[in-house]
Amino acid sequence: MKRYLFPGVVLVLAYPLLAAGYPVWERLGALVLLAAIGASAWNIVGGYAGQVSVGHAVFFGFGAYSAVVVYTHLGWPPIAGAPIGMLLSVAVAAVIGVPTLRLSGHYFSMATIAVAELVRVLSSTSEFLGGAQGLTGPAMPRTVFDLSFLSATPFYYIFLAVLAFLLGLTWWIERGRMGFYLRAIKDSERAARSLGVSAGRYKLYAYMLSGAFTSLAGSLYLCMFGFVDPESGFGILISVKMVVMAALGGAGQLFGPLVGALILVPLEELSNSYLGGRGAGLTFVVYGAIIVIIARFLPSGLLSLFERRSAKPAAKSEIASGHAD
Amino acid sequence: MTLVQVIVSGLLLGAVYALFSSGLTLIWGMMNVVNFAHGDFVMLGMYTAVVIWTALGGGPFAAVPAAAIVIATLGVLSYFLLVRHIMRGPMLAQILGTFGLALFLRYAAFWTFGADFKTLPDTLIGGSFTLGGIRFEGSRVLAGVGGLLITLLLHLILTRTSVGSRMLAVSEDATAAQLMGIRPQRMQALAWAMAGAATGIAGALIATFFYTSPTVGETLAILAFVTVSFGGFGSVLGALVAGLIIGVVESLSAYLIGPVYKDVVVYVLFVLVLWFRPQGLMGKA
Amino acid sequence: MLIDARNVTKAFGAFKAVDDASVTVEEGDILGLIGPNGAGKSTFFNCLTGDLPVTSGTVSFAGNDVTRLPPEARAKLGLARTFQVPLTFESMSVLDNATIGALLRHPNARDARARARDVLQRVGLGHLTDAPAKSLGTPGRKRLEIARALASEPKALLLDEAMAGLTPTEVREAIELVRRIHGGGITIVIVEHIMEVIVSLAQRVVVFHQGREIARGTPREVTSNPAVIEAYLGRRKVQHGAHL
Ligand SMILES: Nc1ncnc2c1ncn2[C@@H]1O[C@H](COP(=O)(O)OP(=O)(O)O)[C@@H](O)[C@H]1O
Ligand SMILES: [Mg+2]
């Protein structure tokens, strides 16, 4: 992996120069990074800790709505809603997490779906949030803080900075005690607890942190698109896409969600802009088929291809005889 | 009198929820797989019914069995080509695989039929009649009664027949079942066929009173997830009870509080059930 | 008194898997816990560690009433265990498995890793530190369970059939290992089917049968106790039946 790092970094930094003059491609770069932020945030609790939330749209929506609400109701620039959204999301994560994180496996997933749907339906009945029509950000940029740009390139660099920070933070967590503990909880919560791991607390920390950054992704989304409604904020597709991107690249791996975003976002965007209409239907058929094929043949994600090659061969020895089950 | 009317229509709706959730719960209970494409199975059942009924002029008596056969085949194919391979892997592979299948089916339908809503002609079952002061819509009665009967049938097959007990043996311990001469893969494929048939019939019944579109599966899937978690995974009877409860709660809250709040009430109820009884109402602990 | 379990009962529905058991363990003891399969030994362990809440009775450890504490809190107080069916962290290396244990007293990952390496060396897994844990067979996994528990630097270690499935040579090595662990100042409670293990290690033995204590004393005393012989002989054929 290491030898790809330097050329990778150069390419990422220089991408807007290569895409300059092609708005579709400029936008695409920013969208990949935005999706990667969301999926990487999900990865903290869903990938590392193995608590598969399919309701992260709750946090995404809170972020998006916080940004637009501070504009609509207070006249602030939307980005000022980002920290508010993050704080709110941490609180919301605690409220949702304490009861649901006791559930295991599919039950946790189903509970998170239900909570997200509950919030989606509630948001569509709330006048404060613009009801089913949603809310729109500033039509005209008033100051530079409104982050209204003609090209997507400034967004590209903003998203890149956020993603770099998030991945740096994840990397730091991964190497420390919390990272070890989250993986232990994922493998066997019972064994982890027998070794003094406060599983409930660590899962909750991971969930809150994950929620905060998912919310930030939502706020950034609003800054770029200037609009959110219940479906684009709290819809189940938002949640599922985070899961699918992370799982496709490799859940519980630092760069897994980014790899997933690099594949899925271009597939989706380019088909939308070049085909449109029914043609897009056909591309999504291909998109679905690709996901199925990867799940079938690489169940641990694309990055497991590299891992398999570099992993040390399973050591067989005198005590590594029979097989346990 | 209106309150009774509301409860009756809730029960009829709930019986359909029960039927389209019973396929999901069967698969979940039998092999611990959650099929994220379940809603799209229902959607294809609806389209099958629409096509056979209208385009090919087959009418309801051809449409319902056709939907059962088509979706059962789809289920068996999904099992052999995909599910069999991912069911032992990480849970995420299941979500990835079945969600990929969902997208595949949804957009295949979109590509074939377009995005606009399709509805079935009103002629045969469109009318309504009044009985004991309660007004019944023909299509809803057909769907509700059909849903109830077929869910019960599925429950009886699973609990009262030797095929059912062999399937149960596989779900409890596939290796032990194999030692007793049961072929696990065959039983699991059969479960997918039965779940598919039930789902297809549910789709055909729903198509009689609900619009058919490529994305309708998403809404239905969430309802099915709620019903199944509510009733306890693996329990068809649980799905039946949960479906009926949810149907009644929906129509009561739509009537008493307002239509937009019916989902809110259902989800709140669901979260409460998960809190107090994580294994669902009738699930095994 | 390091471990003091009083009148512990654990019922599953109407069935009492552990029925009014009282066991005390002094600091520095090696206590053997024996009994035929299904006698309730693992269930009793689970009550001591907090994996299962007791139906009635109290458990105290190192002077603290831990009856209501979760397993992680008991581990922090110095109570470590192994599982009869190993619960290995499958996705990790052998070293990382042991590191999870070491992190309890060494929050810094680098220190914990160094400690874990030490412990693996001591239990004879030094040559496998970098191997994926899932490549280990049952004996290796059982040893890794011990390593992980030791790495948490416990006061007491509960071993649940840690030697089942080992060859006679491996059993002798494992007995040596337990002696060394005990020599390092750790109190031990050991559940084992193999009588030689109990005879050569334990100073005191408690015998369970159908959830109740039927005898206690030195290994020699209990093995000649008619009630114990009866309990074992009556169940000979199911010696290696299902476990928890
Ligand atoms: N979680 C459980 N639910 C119901 N019964 C259990 C459970 N765990 C153990 N048992 C029963 O309790 C009895 C004691 O089991 P166990 O403690 O594993 O015995 P031992 O370790 O002495 O072989 C057995 O009959 C077993 O079937
Ligand atoms: Mg045992």
- The pocket around ligand 1, CB under 6 angstroms, is made up of C 12, 17, 35, 37-43, 243-244
pLDDT at A223 (0 to 100):
94
Report CA torsion sign: C99, C104, C109, C112.
negative
DSSP label at residue B127: -
Yes or no, beta carbons of C87 and A312 under 8 Å apart:
no
Instruction: Quote the CA–CA distance of C31 and C45 in Å, as a whole number.
Output: 13
Choose among A183, A252, A317: nearest Cβ to C128: A317
- Say how many C-beta atoms besides its own lie within 10 A of residue C184's C-beta: 10
| Cβ pair C77, C64 in contact under 8 A | yes
Q: Which residue has the tokens 């997507």?
A: A152
By the 10 Å C-beta count (0-12 exposed, 13-18 middle, 19+ buried), A55 is classed as buried
- Name the closest residue on chain A to residue C112, using Cα atoms: A177
Residue type present at position A189: E
- Say how many C-beta atoms besides its own lie within 10 A of residue B13's C-beta: 23
Opening angle at CA A98, ends A94 and A101, nearest 5:
115
- Residues B223-234, mean pLDDT to the nearest whole number: 85
Residue type present at position A41: A
Strands C212-217 and C204-209 come out as: antiparallel
| Cβ pair C156, C78 in contact under 8 A | yes
Answer whether A175 touches C (CB < 8 Å): yes
Average pLDDT, chain B: 87
Q: Which residues of C touch A177 (CB under 8 A)?
A: 103, 107-109, 112
Q: Which residues of A touch C84 (CB under 8 A)?
A: none
Instruction: Quote the CA–CA distance of B156 and A111 in Å, as a whole number.
Output: 29
C3-78+154-243 has which CATH code?
3.40.50.300
Instruction: Quote the CA–CA distance of B150 and C211 in Å, as a whole number.
Output: 47
**Residue with the nearest Cα to atom 11 of ligand 1?**
C17
Cα separations (Å) of B6 from A203, B87, B134, B136, B242? 43, 42, 9, 11, 17
- Name the closest residue on chain B to residue A291, using Cα atoms: B100
| Cβ pair A159, A265 in contact under 8 A | no
Q: Which residue has the tokens 């598969």?
A: A52
Yes or no, beta carbons of A198 and C165 under 8 Å apart:
no
Give the model confidence (pLDDT) of B118-174 as tens digits: 877 655 566 777 777 777 787 888 889 989 999 999 999 999 999 888 988 888 888
Q: Which residues of A touch C139 (CB under 8 A)?
A: 319, 321-322
Element (DSSP H or E) covering residue C213: strand C212-217
Which of A95, A85, A315, A93 lies closest to A220, judged by CA? A85
Report CA torsion sign: B244, B246, B252, B258.
negative
Q: Which residue has the tokens 């899962």?
A: A203
DSSP reduced 3-state for C22: strand
Report CA torsion sign: A12, A14, A17, A19.
negative
Strands C79-81 and A227-228 come out as: unpaired
Instruction: Quote the CA–CA distance of A264 and B261 in Å, as a whole number.
Output: 35
CA distance A161 to chain C (A): 28
Q: Give the whole-number percent of chain B exceeding pLDDT 90.
A: 43
Residue type present at position B189: A
DSSP reduced 3-state for C30: strand
Total tally of structural domains belonging to chain B: 1
Q: C223: which 2 tokens?
A: 């093995």
Q: What is the CATH number of the domain that holds B176?
A: 1.10.3470
Which of B116, B137, B141 lies closest to B127, judged by CA? B137
Helix axes C109-123, C138-151, angle to 10 degrees: 130
Backbone angles phi, psi at B90, to 5 degrees: -60, 150
Q: Which residues of A touch C70 (CB under 8 A)?
A: 193
Which of C98, C87, C184 lies closest to C148, judged by CA? C98
DSSP reduced 3-state for A75: coil
Which of A237, A207, A268 lies closest to A52, judged by CA? A207
Residue type present at position B67: A
By the 10 Å C-beta count (0-12 exposed, 13-18 middle, 19+ buried), C53 is classed as exposed
**Residue with the nearest Cα to atom 20 of ligand 1?**
C38
Strands C156-160 and C187-191 come out as: parallel
CA of C66 to the centre of ligand 1 (A): 22
More confident residue, B76 or C195: B76
Yes or no, beta carbons of A180 and C100 under 8 Å apart:
yes
Report CA torsion sign: C164, C167, C168, C170.
negative
Instruction: Quote the CA–CA distance of A163 and A142 in Å, as a whole number.
Output: 27
Yes or no, beta carbons of B97 and A102 under 8 Å apart:
no
The minimum-distance atom of ligand 1 relative to the CA of C13 is 4
Yes or no, beta carbons of A324 and C83 under 8 Å apart:
no
Q: Whole-prediction pTM value?
A: 0.91
User: CB neighbours of C41 closer than 8 A, spacing ≥ 6?
Assistant: C33, C34, C35, C160, C191, C208
Cα dihedral: B13, B19, B21, B25 (round 10): 150
- Name the closest residue on chain C to residue A182, using Cα atoms: C100
The minimum-distance atom of ligand 1 relative to the CA of C46 is 17
Give the model confidence (pLDDT) of C161-217 as tens digits: 999 888 888 899 999 999 999 999 999 999 998 888 898 999 999 999 999 999 999
Q: Which residues of A touch C109 (CB under 8 A)?
A: 175-177, 179-180
* DSSP codes of every residue in B229-263: HHH-TT-HHHHHHHHHHHHHHHHHHHHHT-TTHHH
pLDDT at A221 (0 to 100):
97
pLDDT at B201 (0 to 100):
94
User: CB neighbours of C233 closer than 8 A, spacing ≥ 6?
Assistant: none
Choose among B104, B260, B264: nearest Cβ to A288: B104
DSSP label at residue C39: S
Backbone angles phi, psi at A70, to 5 degrees: -65, -25
Q: Which residue has the tokens 């949804």?
A: B106
Yes or no, beta carbons of B111 and A102 under 8 Å apart:
no
Instruction: Quote the CA–CA distance of C45 and C52 in Å, as a whole number.
Output: 9
Which other chains touch chain B, taking contact as 3+ CB pairs less than 8 Å apart?
A
| Cβ pair B239, B25 in contact under 8 A | yes
Q: Could you state, in order of their start, the residue ranges of all structural domains in chain C? A: 3-78+154-243, 90-153
Instruction: Quote the CA–CA distance of A65 and A70 in Å, as a whole number.
Output: 8
Beta strands in C138-182 (DSSP E): 156-160
Instruction: Quote the CA–CA distance of B113 and A299 in Å, as a whole number.
Output: 32
Pocket test for ligand 1, best of C19, C42, C85 (most atoms within 8 A of CB): C42
More confident residue, A135 or B276: A135
| Cβ pair B214, B115 in contact under 8 A | yes
**Residue with the nearest Cα to atom 18 of ligand 1?**
C244
B/e letters for A127-149, b = 16+ CB within 10 Å, e = fewer, are: eebbeeebbbbbeeeeeeebbbe
Q: Which residues of A touch C126 (CB under 8 A)?
A: none
Give the model confidence (pLDDT) of B14-47 as tens digits: 999 999 899 999 998 888 899 999 999 999 999 9
Q: Which residue has the tokens 């899937």?
A: B221
The minimum-distance atom of ligand 1 relative to the CA of C244 is 18
What is the mean pLDDT, run by run of 10 residues, along chain A of 325 residues? 81 88 90 98 97 97 97 93 97 93 87 91 92 89 78 93 98 97 97 98 98 98 95 94 94 96 89 68 83 91 76 43 37
C-alpha radius of gyration, chain B, whole number = 18
Q: Is B285 a member of any domain?
A: no
Which of C71, C52, C66, C51 lies closest to C6, judged by CA? C66
pLDDT at A141 (0 to 100):
77
Yes or no, beta carbons of A177 and C130 under 8 Å apart:
no
Backbone angles phi, psi at A25, to 5 degrees: -75, -35
DSSP bridge pairs for B118: B212
Element (DSSP H or E) covering residue A227: strand A227-228
Yes or no, beta carbons of A323 and C86 under 8 Å apart:
no
Average pLDDT, chain C: 92
More confident residue, A228 or C226: A228
CA of C40 to the centre of ligand 1 (A): 6
- Name the closest residue on chain A to residue C110, using Cα atoms: A176
| Cβ pair B189, B83 in contact under 8 A | no
Choose among C81, C88, C140: nearest Cβ to A194: C81
By the 10 Å C-beta count (0-12 exposed, 13-18 middle, 19+ buried), B170 is classed as buried
Instruction: Quote the CA–CA distance of B153 and C57 in Å, as a whole number.
Output: 48
DSSP bridge pairs for C158: C81, C189
DSSP label at residue A48: I
pLDDT at C238 (0 to 100):
42
- Say how many C-beta atoms besides its own lie within 10 A of residue A274's C-beta: 11
pLDDT at A214 (0 to 100):
98
Yes or no, beta carbons of C51 and A184 under 8 Å apart:
no
Q: Is B160 a member of any domain?
A: yes
